[in-house]
């Protein structure tokens, strides 16, 4: 851990000196609170090994797709980037770990290919989107998306409770059924 911190500190220091010597490369991040350049955020949050991959995610608003990165490292990197760009308060509303709530979109007869669940998982991995943009993209994955309210309930639950979110207790299976289609069997 100490070696990693030293490498990151050295990389940021050297990179910062390069930027000071070349002012045309210095610019404020167009996102919010960060005064660091995209390159500096990538190095700070992802380390030298994954900085290039993270930079691509930051610059092009893509999900953090560093395939060799361990899950714990990816979570920390996404949270770090989001914090650097939008401040700590953004972490109170929506974090990468809230991606578990994307499960509410699973097994939806109105979305047999699971496009809303896939969209939700992808959006949650884009650290450069503001929370409002993430929520908007998740909500608009379908023209009519009643499961979005369930997603919001799940996110709120995960921020306040220490127990598992159970779909049946907070949401209606009716929202996963095709209107007008006859379902035979016991009520779920």
CATH at residue 163? 1.10.150
Residue 160 lies in a domain: yes
Our count of domains for the chain comes to: 2
Span 162-178, mean pLDDT?
89
Q: Show which of 93, 125, 146 is a domain's final residue.
A: 93
Percent pLDDT > 70 in the chain is 80
Name the average pLDDT for the chain: 82
Q: What is the CB neighbour count within 10 angstroms for residue 80? A: 16
* Pair 148, 139: CB distance under 8 Å: yes
Residue 63 lies in a domain: yes
On whether both 65 and 122 belong to a single domain, the answer is: no
On whether both 89 and 114 belong to a single domain, the answer is: no
Comparing C-alpha atoms, which of 145, 137, 153 is closest to residue 176? 145
């Amino acid at each position: 851990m100490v070696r990693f911190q030293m490498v990151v500190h050295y990389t940021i220091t050297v990179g910062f000196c390069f930027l000071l010597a070349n002012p045309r490369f210095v610019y404020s991040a167009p996102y919010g609170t960060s005064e660091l350049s995209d390159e500096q955020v990538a190095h700070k949050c992802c380390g030298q090994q994954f900085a290039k991959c993270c930079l691509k995610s930051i610059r092009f608003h893509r999900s953090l797709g560093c395939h060799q990165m361990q899950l714990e490292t990816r979570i920390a990197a996404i949270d770090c980037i989001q914090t650097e760009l939008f401040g700590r308060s953004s972490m109170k509303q929506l974090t990468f770990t809230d991606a578990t709530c994307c499960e509410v979109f699973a097994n939806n007869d109105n979305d047999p290919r699971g496009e809303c669940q896939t969209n939700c998982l992808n959006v949650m991995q884009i650290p450069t989107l503001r929370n409002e943009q993430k929520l908007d993209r998740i909500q608009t994955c379908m023209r009519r998306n009643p499961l979005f309210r369930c997603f919001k309930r799940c996110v709120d639950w995960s921020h306040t409770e220490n127990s598992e979110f159970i779909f049946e207790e907070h949401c209606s299976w009716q929202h996963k059924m095709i209107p007008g289609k006859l379902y035979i069997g016991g009520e779920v």
